Amino acid sequence: MLLVERGVDPYRGARALPGGFLNHAGEDILDAAHRELREEADLDVARLHLEQLGTYGAPGRDPRGRVISVAYLAIAPELPDPVAGTDAADAGWESAADVLSGRTKLAFDHLRIVTDGIDRARGKLEHSALATAFCRETFTIADLQQVYEAVWGVQLDPRNFYRKVQKVPGFIEPTGQERRATKGRPARLFQAGPTTVLHPPLVRPESTDSEGAR
């Protein structure tokens, strides 16, 4: 995930989600999310999936006073490795595992927001074609499987995955081309199809730890 290092108090030096305030009264909040992503992280990629995650407005979440944050979940493939040195103070990539485990400390209630975002992504992978937003324009089925395995944190059977993914109508479409790696049989390349809602869904294996309350 993309985090910036705070240069001012409060939480100076801690990592935080990129964000900021609305510019003027006429700015749409989605536009503002795009702008902040560009300004704070120099990120202006194509194929950017951006969806509203939720709004966080607990009274004490910002010591400076009342701040209500509308969080957006952004997903994009082929991200520039170290975010290019710009005025964007210190933006950089952090492993989600490091953040979730608490090894990387986040400012404000941003850990909560991050947790919600990951939950959202995990769930949406089942019922929507969101996984293709993690991939490039064309991809192999093994690529897609890696997305599911990484986000869900599980291992999947390649043969069954292959079968199920292709059964969902309109999810992925073959391009007719192939990609050959250094080893092994060349893999057929696919691209995202028109479907956004998966029928049937790709259900993730039931984790043994009981999910309990929400």
Partner DNA sequence: GTATCTTAATGTCAAACAGACAGAAAGGGG
Partner DNA sequence: CCCCTTTCTGTCTGTTTGACATTAAGATAC
Interacting residues toward a second copy by CB under 8 A: 25-29, 52, 54-55, 57-59, 65-66, 68, 70, 128, 194, 196-197, 199-201, 203, 206, 211-214
Residue 168 Cβ vs DNA, minimum distance, rounded to whole Å:
10
| Contacts for 8 with CB less than 8 Å, ≥ 6 apart | none
The nearer residue to DNA, 69 or 128, going by C-beta atoms, is: 128
Rounded CA-CA distance 133/144 in Å is: 10
Of all helices (H) and strands (E), which one includes residue 191? strand 187-192
Stretch that binds DNA, among 12-20, 24-32, 82-90, 174-182 (CB under 7 A): 174-182
The single residue among 180, 208, 209, 214 that binds DNA, judged by CB under 7 A, is: 180
Here the tokens at position 31 are 């536009």
199 near DNA, rule: CB under 7 A:
no
Count of CA atoms in the C-beta half-sphere (13 A) of 201: 12
Q: Work out what residue 65 binds among a second copy, DNA, none; the CB cut-off runs from 5 to 8 Å by kind.
A: a second copy
Of all helices (H) and strands (E), which one includes residue 2? strand 2-5
